Amino acid sequence: MQDRGKITATQMACALFLCVIATAVLAAPILTYKWAGNAMWISSIAASLVALAIAYIMVELHRLFPGKSIVEYSVDLLGRTVGKLFGLYYLLACLQMSGSALRQFGEFMSISFLSQTPSIVLILSISIVGACMARSGIETIGRCAVLFTPVIVGIYLLHLLPVFPLLKPDRLLPLLENGWTAMLQGALQLQNWYPLYMMLTFLLPFVADKEKPGKWSYVSVLWTASAVTGMMLITIMMFGKATGQFNFPMLVISRYVVALEFFEHIESLMMFFWVLDVFVRTIVNQYIISVGFAQWFGAPSFKPLVLPVSALIVLFTYWSTPNYAELADISTTHQPIYYMVNFILFPALLLLIAKFRRAANGKQTQEAPANGS
């Protein structure tokens, strides 16, 4: 293993939770509302079932191949040539995913807070600092995740609690006004985020609590589903039919809180929430992809690969999505399906192959003594 450090199952759960909500609580409501309407919170619950399925697949593969990531056990299951090609494709998909997240960060900050600052400056800044942290290893990342989680959750609640008296539950009715199909289409939009639980394949080998990774993987999914669904409920009860008019409803709520004179400078806290959360996701992405490439090359250490990987992520940030309009279009059309195929379907097929081979080997072992007798 390229990193001898260990993390607890709780640290892993916190890291995954922060990685998913980093962009979900800001962008998910508007994407989901366009399809599901006031049933977008039901879409969130339905989409979380997919996240539970991903967690189950990754935990089962880890149980069958302890200490290995998908880059390594794909070679065991598919053969060296096909397995290596699959591992490389998987890592390239992770690079694209990481680049898309950084592009969202840069565009949001430029549009909402730092309009005079080019997005590339923001992206390079967080990438360089993140690379320094990623080189420190998994233990540093785990401690950061546990330290930042209560801070981020606190800001999240501080931002939302003042508007609770203004919420109107009747705006949730009628349920499923656009039908089941629209609700499921809304759930599909959330696959821009929930497939990120594929990161489990790279984090599980570093968990010291061998009996707890499965439990805390599912706990992390429940945390994420609660945060995203809660944001959906608050957004629709706050804005109702006007939800579709805002690109970032959560940011609008923060400005509304200032207008009501509950707190001052709540937008600054909102920016702090966003930067801190995206920073955690950035260092996790840089780390797992560096470890993945180190495994793919058979390198003794991941550290020399962190800076090249960070540069590749920045390259993918602009190469995969040349402008914000195209990024928004891809996020609602191709990207959810792309993520589901790469991070759900392919690992599920690997799990089926592993289960089939194990069953076949068990049958051969049972037949051998019978033939010998």
Residue 40 CA to residue 38 CA, distance in Å, equals: 5
- Domain membership flag for residue 339: yes
What is the pLDDT at residue 310?
A: 94
Does residue 370 sit within a domain? no
| Main-chain phi, psi angles of 116, to 5 degrees | -90, -5
Flag whether pLDDT at 285 surpasses 90: yes
Q: Is residue 367 part of a domain?
A: no
- Contact yes or no for 271/68 (Cβ under 8 A): no
Total number of domains constituting the chain: 1
In-domain check, residue 124: yes
For residue 187, give its domain range: 9-360
- Select the more confidently predicted residue: 259 or 154: 154
Integer Cα distance of 123 and 175 in angstroms: 40
Residue 45, both tokens:
């619950």
For residues 276 and 292, the model is more confident at 292
Share of the chain above pLDDT 70, in %: 89
* Position 114 confidence tier, pLDDT thresholds 50, 70, 90: confident
Which pTM value belongs to this model?
A: 0.90
The CATH code of the domain that includes 14 is 1.20.1740.10
Average pLDDT in the chain: 86
Say yes or no to pLDDT of 373 above 50: no
Residue 1 has pLDDT above 50, yes or no: no
Over residues 354-373, the mean pLDDT reads: 69
What pLDDT, on a 0 to 100 scale, did the predictor assign at position 264? 56
Closest to 141 measured CA to CA, from 217, 206, 210, 198: 206
Q: Is residue 128 part of a domain?
A: yes
Cβ–Cβ < 8 Å for 344, 57: yes
Note whether residue 1 is domain-resident: no
- 109 pLDDT band (50/70/90 cuts)? confident
Q: Residue 262 above 60 pLDDT?
A: no
Q: Looking at residue 107, what is its pLDDT?
A: 80
Residue 192 inside a domain? The answer is yes
For the stretch 196-251, pLDDT in tens is: 999 999 999 999 987 778 899 999 999 999 999 998 999 999 988 888 888 788 87
Domain-located, residue 3? no
> What is the pLDDT, as a whole number, of residue 263?
54
